[in-house]
Amino acid sequence: MTTVDEVVREYWARAEARDWAGFGELLADDVVYDLPQSSERIRGKADYLRFNEEYPGDWHATLVRAVGQGTHAATWVSVTTDGEEQSALTFFQFDEQGLIAQITDFWPEPYEPPPGREHLAERF
């Protein structure tokens, strides 16, 4: 049996490897991804995968810590994008099948989303 903290560790490993097919295997079809700092929400596996595939820059994610229990997990990651490092906290909720159903990413500062992803995200 896989625990939720093991799943989120795999989530970040597959993201770092750009293994989008494997990454998608961890997600519910109706996954919801929220970015409170940019007031964006992405609904559905296909759009969330595309968001990640199209994300600009040379970024790398290093998992610092993962914790989880039951249907919830949280991670602390260090993300380096084009030489600039930031930390993020990500909260995950799982569905009955053990797939990631909801993801909320918290970054240090509010920001306006970069142009070019309007087709994937709604603003809230």
Helix (H) / strand (E) containing 85: strand 84-94
pLDDT at 64: 97
Q: Domains, the chain, ranges and CATH?
A: 4-109 (3.10.450.50)
* pLDDT tens column, 72-90: 999 999 999 888 899 999 9
* pTM confidence score: 0.86
* pLDDT tens column, 24-73: 999 999 999 999 988 899 999 999 999 999 988 888 999 999 999 999 99
Contact indicator for 31, 23 with CB cutoff of 8 Å: no
Q: Give the whole-angstrom CA distance, residue 36 versus residue 44.
A: 17
